[in-house]
Chain A
Amino acid sequence: MLKTKEVEFNYDNQMFFKFQNIDLNSNENLLIIGESGVGKTTLMHLLAGLLKSNSGSIKLFDKELNQMSSYQLDSFRKNNIGIVFQRPHFVNSLTVKENLQLAQYIANKNDNTRIESILKNLNIFEKSNKKTNQLSQGEKQRVSIALAIVNSPKLILADEPTSSLDDNNCSKVIKLLKKQATDFGAQLIVITHDSRLKKHFKKSIEL
């Protein structure tokens, strides 16, 4: 499903990253763990097609990301990848439900029953018509998970989803993410420095 080979990236010839090869089969989840500054976010952006590597190959769902144009990457991303950010981001002028509708619109979809079922599954259905800045931190995180899965992605990428949480909440969130991935038939890749997550994943690599 995901196969990377000799991926290298440098920012303005200053920071240089060389990533180890990844080989992930279908139906497998993956934990990528590493200290700060080893290029975790860079790797995630490369996998999401937000950045292009300088050399090497990233093959995701049998497509070579390095050979796609920026427009093709946008389109690939909206059809295949859902992203959960370290800090949740939303369109502030919209309600929870409208944020999800916007995500669907961008992917040329329109399915309110799916939005409802996702919000119910995440226990935030009653917040549907709230503006996102009226939510608590935990609710925001769940809405950002909803945003990541609303378009039925085949892959969910999560960037430091648990770094600021206590042990109890950390395990809740990671279980929630795994459950959502299973419920909606997606694979999960979590990128983090949080070693507490190791016990939740069968497969992990260290950068």
Chain B
Amino acid sequence: MNIFKLSIKNIFNKPLSSSISLALLVLGVGIISLLLQLNTLIKDQMDNNLRGIDMVVGAKGSPLQLILSSVYHIDSPTGNISLAEAETISNNRMVGSSIKILYGDNYKGFRIVGAEKKFIELYKGVIKEGKDWDNPYEVLVGSKVYEKLKINLGDELISSHGLRETGQSHDEGTFKVVGLLKPSNSVIDQLIITSPQSVWDIHETHDHDEHENENEHEHEHEHEHDNREITAMLIKFKSPMNIIQFPRQINENTNLQAAVPSYEISRLFKLFGFGIETLSYLAYLIIIVSGFSLFINLFNSMRERKYEMALIRTLGASRFQLSTMIIFESLVLTISGFILGLLFSRFGVMFVSSLMEESINYNLNSLKILNEEYWLLGLSVLIGVVSSLIPAIQVYKMNISKILADA
């Protein structure tokens, strides 16, 4: 038996009032920690997919939509742009490198992207099994796609038109899996990647299905039409200085749209940020309320337990030991509240990431403790000490003789 054990016994002796304070604290700490975790994870994920892309060129529309669709692959594209126009831009002297990407189809909800091979290099994709594509209709498959759909080398994938699972399927759109990519923790994990030519070919045929009066084409036929289109082009500048001037030039002088991902994402986070801030104020309020509830608990239990305290003093415990016991009781509650709050937030992160994986094929799992969470620990300890201070001082000043004489 010691003072620490006694504190714990006292807490368990009053499970109801202890658990109310505890629940409030868990909720407050949990919400803040969940917000911090999600914010950091999403930001990391976003930044991770952003490296090497200074600007995206695509069809006119919402710049944020353009970024979300062609960098993060989570929104519909704004439309297509002509290959010829894209070539003009990529030949500009300010452009360091450019990658053309085009969409059209999906396989069971996973997007099939036609892209130049530089696209895979951009995300540091490495082939785990098989080889790179050499011919049209050969595809490389990202790690999450083959894990989820159990795709193996040599499988044939029949694509559907559009970016959602429900699109009309092309019988002609049969892709052959020639390579599987290692997990890269970037967007290519959830993509099926093929050569631009494959996508052009399949949509040539597709268009002809719809307009039957036109002449039949063999789809192996070389298409050198001017009217070939791409969805977007990812651009890296020669010098970071160009980021100010060049997008504006494109937006003003062409019918294309240029968007800067880092700018759009920080705009997005500002929008998020308002909600996150409001929610975290609310959570801090809950933590403060938990402090009050803790204080009221301790204060009441001091009154109920005054004979007990007097007894412990007559047994020879010092004022200091008794005050320590009260502060311990409070700290045990707040520190376990903190730990449970972190657990709560981790389950929250897992839950949210499982939701997100369902809907947009993103995965956010990480369980490391953030610096801000150490601050939360400090805050919990502070709440524990502050809320127990007055009861502890009361116990310290307690007149045992008077309490015992009144009994």
Contacts and interface: CB of A to CB of B under 8 A. Distances in A.
B404 A91 contact: no
Interface of A: 41-42, 45, 48, 50-51, 70-71, 74-75, 77-79, 83, 85-87, 89-94, 98, 101-107, 147, 151
Contacts of A41: 404-405
Contacts of A147: 311, 315
A101 B1 CA distance: 6
B10 to A, nearest CB: 5
A83 B407 CA distance: 15
B401 interface: yes
B308 A105 contact: no
B404 A45 contact: yes
A102 B312 contact: yes
Contact of A93 (B13, B313, B314, B321): B13
B319 to A, nearest CB: 7
Contacts of A151: 315-316
Interface of B: 1-3, 6, 9-10, 12-13, 305, 307-308, 310-319, 321, 400-401, 404-405, 407
A90 B314 contact: no
A85 B308 CA distance: 12
B314 A87 contact: no
B6 A94 contact: yes
A159 B400 CA distance: 15
A51 B307 contact: no
Contacts of A93: 6, 9-10, 12-13
Contacts, number: 81
B13 A45 contact: no
Contacts of B317: 74, 78, 106
B407 A89 contact: yes
A103 B9 CA distance: 15
B315 A103 contact: yes
Given A78-B316, A98-B1, A103-B315, A50 B321 contact: no
Contact of A98 (B9, B12, B401): B9
Given A45-B404, A98-B9, A104-B1, A89 B307 contact: yes
Given A93-B9, A98-B1, A102-B6, A45 B405 contact: yes
A-B pairs, 9 with minimum CB distance: A78-B316, A93-B13, A101-B1, A89-B311, A93-B9, A45-B401, A50-B401, A89-B307, A106-B317
Contacts of B310: 89
24 contacts: A42-B401, A45-B404, A50-B313, A50-B314, A50-B400, A74-B317, A78-B317, A79-B316, A85-B407, A87-B407, A90-B311, A91-B6, A91-B311, A93-B12, A94-B1, A98-B1, A98-B9, A102-B6, A105-B1, A105-B3, A106-B317, A107-B315, A107-B316, A147-B311
